[in-house]
Each structure stands twice: as structure tokens, then as C-alpha cells.
Structure 1
Amino acid sequence: MTNRGIHHVSVIAGAAARNVAFYTGVLGLRLVKKTVNFDDSGAYHLYYGDETGTPGSIITFFPWENVAPGRLGIGETQETAFRVPQGAIGYWTHRFIDKGVAHERLEKRFGETVLPFRDPDGTRLALVAVPGIEAEPAYVAGGIPAENALRGLHSVSLLLEDAGPTGAILTDVLGFRQSASEGFLTRFDSGAPFGGIVDIRAVGDFLKPRQGGGSVHHVAFRAADDAEEAAMVERLAENHGVTTTEPLDRNYFRSVYFREPGHVLFEIATDIPGFTVDETMAELGGSLQLPAQFEPFRERIEAALPPIDGRPNQSDAGSAFDDRPADEGSSAG
């Protein structure tokens, strides 16, 4: 249970080129993997993270060019937060002003300084100032000084009617412990160096969500390997009456999906085999990687995907986008 925590967060986005420009150029993350949705080869699946694509540093996107905006509601992930060194929060405030990034005033949560902001699709994000992480390795890009660079995920916050049933799964199955409470927030901590925190905001009955651009599709939690994942699946069924999908091979990890009691879509993803199964560390994110079943159709797929770097992949062919965000993890890729 040493690797428990968040593996990645997957979000629905709009234009792929705009998404890449923001997460690499503004936030300075590395485009770790450029691939396609397993059930919609006309749509990218883009992964961003640290230099090596470490689990707990990863945020991924399903970009549909013409997706309608989402609406936050009960039973949904409210916010995804990244870690920055404590002394970097002023730098990021000025950077957001300079770059025209929508952001809110600094606030305090559990004694930490938090800078909430949004990406161009309205995804709710935050930077959390964490003391003592200045010496941690940092991926440097976008002209961001190393001392200010993001250092993995900090947390996700879930907007739920009731914290209890979801908290029971976090603590009994996913390796977290309840560590603090503050107002409507209850904090669960796995002790992982990053990606180790889930906050539940319990608000009772509330508006139902509508998934779309800016909505978090699912939150994935770490399992070291297939055996640990299987044990977690068994515990979910025996102790909580929750069943999962069959294991699905996502090339870079193997996954199961389930709706937790608050209706948020959770995934359990293995740390293995990782992002270097089809690219070297130096090559990560450099070219389009396709699942084996799509490889015979590479030319058509590359022609249909919209450019993300100012140039078409092969031609000016139109997109094959479905324009509908997937609802279930088993069909999200």
C-alpha cells in the first residue's frame, strides 16, 4: 500500500490546440503522451505531467472541438489542485495576471495558501503553496523558473451530498485516512508525497451536474500492480457492495472503473507499465501513439485529428469528432 494516492485526473476539454497551449505554455507541464480516445479515434487523449510522467503528477484531457460547457453539480469533482513551493505563489499570481488567466483571490484551506483559477474551458483548478518542496525535481518549460515550477498534483475536491459513504471507500479500499475537517470540508490523506489528498465538500442536496467542457470525467487512484488492483476490487465488492468494470488495458496502465456512492466516476489504475512502453523518456509526447487496434488506420486517423502545434498532422481533412463527452469510464479510453 505504499503507492496509494491519486494516479491521474481526466477532464473533458474543447479545442485541443488551446488545451496544449495552456497546459504546456502557461502551466509549464510536459505533454507526456499524445494518443487517442479508445472509443473515439477521431478525438485525442492528451496526458500532461512531470518529466517522467510519474503517477500523481498526471492530468489528462479528452478534447472535443465543439463540446458544450459543463455545469458543476452534486456528485462531481469540483477542483483539481497542483503543488507549488511556498515561495512561488506570488510568481503565479503575477503570471496569471500577465497571461490573462481567470483566477480568484488567495485563500486559506487547512492552513495552506491556495490560488484558485480556471483554464480556458472553465476547468476548476488551484495551486497550493506547500512548504519544504523546493528541492524536489521539477520539469521546467514555458519560461518558468525551476524554483516556481509545478510539482505534481496536490489534491482533488469532490462535491457530494454526504461525505460518509465515499469516505469509507477512500479509507477502507483506496489507502487514505481521514485527517482533518474545516467547515463543510473533510480531508482524506494517503501520505503519498504528491497526489495524496482528497477533500470532500459535503453540501447536502444540490444542483445536478451536466458534463461538458471543463468537467472532470473521472479520478483515478493508484494500485502498484494487477494483484493489488484485484485485491482492491475484491474489497470494494465484499465490504461496500460496489462492483467494477472488467480490467481494461489502457496501454500505460490497466484500469477498472466504478461509481462511488456519491456518483463520482472513480478508476483504479496500475502504476505499471508506465509511459515509456512505446516512447523513450526523451521522446515522451513527441509523436502520436495509437492503440494496436487503431494502428492499421493511422493515416486516416492522423488526417482527421486537428492540429495541436499549428500544423495539420497530414492533411486538412475534417475531424471525426463525436462532439459528445463519454459518460462511463469503460468508454472513455
Structure 2
Amino acid sequence: MQINGIHHVTAIAGPARRNLEFYGRVLGLRLVKKTVNFDDPGTYHLYYGDAAAAPGSILTFFPWEHAAQGRLGVGETQETVFRVPEGAIGYWAHRLVEHGVPHDVPVKRFGETVLAFRDPDGMRLSVVGVPGIEAEPAWAEGGIPVEHAIRGFHGVSLLVADAAPTGAILSDVFGFREIGREETLVRYRADGAPMGDVVDLRVAGGFLPARQGAGSVHHIAFRAADDAAQEEMVRKLAENHGIRTTEQRDRNYFRSVYFREPGHVLFEIATDVPGFAVDEPADSLGQALKLPPGLEAQRARIEAVLPALA
């Protein structure tokens, strides 16, 4: 059965140790995979998520020690949004103050309370209070009381010059539907997705284009149950929208294709299978450096150049 929604978000960061400190200790996310950038194996690829490393909870980073600062602009993700129980917003406001994290005052967006903040690289994040999710499982070993802990993604907001072409892709290919408009935002939701079910399109015609760098989201990945579901999405893109994807690429934990949607944001379609427990036990995810088979022979050299994380 196909479950739609966001699979993961991948961003660019500065120093890896600082990234782990913030996402693992300040936000309390689980480090679910410690591997390398397959195209640049001298750099980590760090994956954070929930206790089960479930699609819809996965935030990944390419951390470069000396990455230049990115610039937010049209054609990029403006904000990555986490879900927390509705009563946890006060806790998170206090925690951000306690850790000196730059943040805004809480605001209402589509009737939900949103607390926006930034990571050490300036990446735009927020937590949104969602009613009725208190009983959902949460990572209990991240230093955050379970009743306040993050429960995967709420969604993302994309900065685009025109919402309609991007919205057509979300609706036709990824199973989202428009559910509301508020000021410059158009909200789409994937019905039935347990998390990562919201994409907001923020219309910002006339803004400068994005420049990728530290603090930038590199791409957004949407869920496909398996190869057949992915192939159907690829077919719809080509036949209904005239968009061609890359060839399928094996990322060990999912299989991916990529394309630029009409608003110029880089989209990925990632399979739910095989998942993050394919090369290490589920109860010890993220503890060992995992390499794809083609890089295993270079392990000693790779480990020698990777920065220490502790």
C-alpha cells in the first residue's frame, strides 16, 4: 500500500561535530545512520530520525567543515517543520532560550502554534504543536522528556515564484491536495500519512534565487513504497508534466531518482525499502560508520580523513 508524504529532507551544514551536538543533544533526535557522502566520501552523511528511523522523520546532512554560507531565495526550502505535542510549545520555547538558540515568538499558522528557530548554520526550522499525538512513540534517549519530544516532520515550506506549477506536481504525482490558503501560503496535505504530510508553498515572486551553502536545504524526498510505485511516479512526471528524472540511484537504505520541479526546488523520489536496518541492527542504528560495498576497501583511508564526532 502506498503511503504518501515526505520521506526525508537533506541539508548542507558546517562542522559535523557541531551538527551532531545540535540535532542529537539540543533537539534530541536519534542519529540513525553514520555514513559518508557517496559522491564525496571524505565527508560524512549524517541521518537523524525517530526511534524507528521511519520515513517522514529523517533529516540528513552533508557537513563540510568550511562550507560557505548559503542564501535563502526562490527555488529552495524556506523552513523545515517538526511535530511536537500541542502542549509542548512552552517547553520548547524555554529549551531554545536555555541553549541560546535564535528563535521567534510563537505565531499561529493555519490554526496551529508554530515556534520558529535556526540551527547553528542558520537553517530555518520550527516546531508546530499538533493535537492528539501525545501517545505516538518518541525517541526516549535523546535527553528530551518523552511527552515533549519531536515526533517526525510536520512538513516543509518551499519558496516559489508561482504556486500553481509546483502544486500540480504535488497533487498529481505525490498524492497531496490543496487544503487552504493563508496570506502568501498555499497548503497541501497528503491524506493518511502518519507524519511529513504537509507542504506549504510560499509565493515570493521577485525574490533573488537561492544560493546553496551551509544552512541550505539541498533537496526534499517524497515517499514511494517500492520500485513499482516509484516507476509510476516517474511515468506521471514524463507523460503529464514533461519532466524527466535521473536514472535510479542506490543509496543503500532507499533507491532514488531526482528532478527539478517547476519552481526549481530539487525533488527526490525515495523508496521506503529496504530501510535503515539493512546493514546494522535496529537497536544500534547510527553507532558504527557504515560504508557502501564499493567503498569498504577504502575504510582506513576514509576514517583517517573524517573529523572526530566526539
Task: State the TM-score bracket (shorter-chain normalisation).
Answer: over 0.9
Q: How far apart are the structure 2 equivalents of 1:108 and 1:2? A: 32
Tell me the percent identity. Answer: 67
Moved over 2 A (4+): none
Which stretch of the first structure deviates more once superposed, 138-147 or 221-230?
138-147
Q: Which residue of 1 aligns with 2:276?
A: 275
Q: Where do residues 252-263 of structure 1 align in structure 2 (5 Å cutoff)?
A: 252-263=253-264
1:264 matches 2:272: no
| Structure 2: gaps spanning 5 or more residues | none
Listed as ranges, the matches of 1:1-333 within 5 Å are 2-191=2-191, 192-309=193-310
**SS of match in other structure, 1:235:** helix
Which ranges in structure 1 are unaligned for 5 or more consecutive residues?
A: 310-333
Superposition TM-score, scaled by structure 2 size: 0.99
Contact residue 24 and residue 141 of structure 1 kept, 8 A: no
Q: Which residue identity does 1:169 align to in structure 2?
A: I
Give the secondary structure class of the aligned counterpart of 1:273: coil
State the distance in 2 between where 1:205 and 1:169 align: 22
Contact 2:2 2:229 in 1 (8 A): no
Q: Distance in 1 between matches of 2:284 and 2:208?
A: 44
1:260 partner letter: E
For 1:100 and 1:142, the matched residues in 2 are separated by 19
* Conservation of the 8 A alpha-carbon contact between 2:2 and 2:224: no
Give per-residue Cα distances to partners, 1:115-161, cap 9 Å, x unaligned: 00000000000000000100000102342111000000001000000
| CA offset digits 1:80-126 (Å, max 9, x no partner) | 00000001000000000001111111011000000000000000000
Deviation at 1:52, TM superposition (A): 1.3
Contact 2:253 2:273 in 1 (8 A): yes
Instruction: Determine if contact 2:173/2:237 at 8 Å carries over to the other structure.
Output: yes
* 1:79 and 1:124 in contact (8 A); partners too: yes
Distance 1:108 1:95 in 2: 20
Within 2, Cα distance between the matches of 1:2 and 1:108?
32
**Which secondary structure does the structure 2 equivalent of 1:237 belong to?**
helix
* RMSD after superposition: 0.7
Q: CA deviation at 1:256?
A: 0.1
Q: Distance in 2 between matches of 1:142 and 1:55?
A: 19
In 1, the alpha carbon distance for the partners of 2:268 and 2:303 equals: 29
Number of residue pairs the alignment of both structures matches: 309
Read off the aligned partner of 2:5 and give its amino acid letter. Answer: G
TM-score by length of 1: 0.92
Aligned to 1:52, the other structure's residue is in SS state: coil
In 2, Cα distance between the equivalents of 1:31 and 1:44? Answer: 13
2:262 and 2:183 mapped to 1: Cα distance?
22
How far apart in 1 are the matches of 2:71 and 2:232? 35
Deviations 1:3-41 (A, max 9, x none): 110000000000000000100100000000000001100
For residue 204 of structure 1, report the CA deviation from its aligned partner.
1.3
Amino acid at match of 2:140: V
2:277 alignment partner, SS class:
helix
CA distance in 1, matches of 2:289, 2:155: 29
Deviation at 1:186, TM superposition (A): 0.2
